[in-house]
């Protein structure tokens, strides 16, 4: 945990994890964790999506290609989707992506999807802490560029 508690040393690359959270469950779960003042790592940048059914696997792929160090997707538990079936679709697509990323040369441990409901603040804390630790062990994402970009397009 020490790496998470202290500010990054000078020269050490800041780890950035992109989180895609469904508005109805996991975003609420993260909020619950915050309200309950559970200590959480600060590497996660949360993007709120209406439902994991909105989650295009390309969002995660693009984030990883563009150099995000990890991508975490979280939504309502299957059968508890606010829109009844959104996460059933998401489940298949995200599972596909998880198996596909290593083929293209991305470490599969940089991508995870999980289900956390709005009341599960403690579970959220556990998920995000574990994932963040895993990404810290992996270190920064090397990305796909072979040399530094001359312009940031």
Partner 1 sequence: MTTTDIEQLHKLMEDALPELEALIGWQPGYDALHAAPAIARTPEEASRLVFNPFCIHNLARTVAKTPPPPAKEGEAPKKIGVCVKGCDSRSIIALIQEGFLKREQLYIIGIPCKGTIDLRRLMKLAGEDLRAGVKSARIEGDSLVVEGAKGSRSFPLEKVLARRCMRCKYPNPVIYDVMAGDPVIPRASEEEAHKDVDAVENLPVAERLAFWQGELDRCIRCYACRNACPLCMCQDRCIAETRDPKWLPQYMGLSEKFIFHFIHAMHLAGRCTECGECERVCPQEIPVTLIKEKLNRITKELLDYEAGVSTEAVPPFLTFNPEELGI
At residue 144, the 3 state secondary structure works out as coil
Identified binder of partner 1 from the candidate list 4, 31, 83, 89, rule CB under 8 A: 89
DSSP states along 115-127: E--TT-HHHHHHH
Identified binder of partner 1 from the candidate list 50, 65, 77, 80, rule CB under 8 A: 65
Identified binder of partner 1 from the candidate list 8, 34, 139, 142, rule CB under 8 A: 142
How big is the chain, counted in residues? 153
Identified binder of partner 1 from the candidate list 34, 92, 130, 139, rule CB under 8 A: 92
- Which of the stretches 14-22, 44-52, 123-131, 137-145 binds partner 1 when contact is defined by CB under 8 A? 137-145
Query: In b/e form, how buried is each residue of 49-68, taking b as 16+ CB within 10 angstroms?
Result: bebbbbbebebbbebbeeeb
Distances (CA, A) of 25 to 19, 45, 73, 83, 148: 13, 17, 12, 11, 39
Does 80 bind partner 1 (CB under 8 A)? Our answer is no
Identified binder of partner 1 from the candidate list 13, 34, 58, 119, rule CB under 8 A: 58
Residue holding tokens 């290593």? 102
Residues that bind partner 1 (CB under 8 A): 56-58, 61-62, 65-67, 78-79, 85, 88-89, 91-93, 95-97, 99-100, 102-107, 142-146, 149, 151, 153
């Amino acid at each position: 945990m020490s790496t998470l508690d202290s500010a990054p040393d000078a020269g050490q690359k800041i780890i950035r994890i992109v989180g895609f959270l469904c508005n109805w469950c996991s975003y609420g779960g993260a909020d619950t964790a915050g309200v309950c003042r559970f200590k959480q790592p600060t590497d996660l940048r949360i993007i709120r999506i209406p439902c994991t059914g909105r989650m295009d696997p390309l969002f995660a792929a693009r984030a990883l290609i563009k150099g995000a160090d990890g991508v975490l997707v979280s939504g309502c538990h299957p059968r508890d989707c606010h829109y009844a079936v959104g996460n059933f679709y998401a489940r298949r697509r995200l599972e596909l992506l998880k198996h596909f990323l290593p083929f293209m040369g991305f470490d599969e441990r940089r991508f995870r999807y999980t289900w956390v409901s709005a009341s599960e603040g403690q579970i959220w804390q556990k998920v995000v802490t574990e994932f963040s630790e895993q990404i810290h062990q992996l270190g920064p994402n090397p990305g796909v560029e072979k040399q530094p970009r001359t312009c940031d397009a």
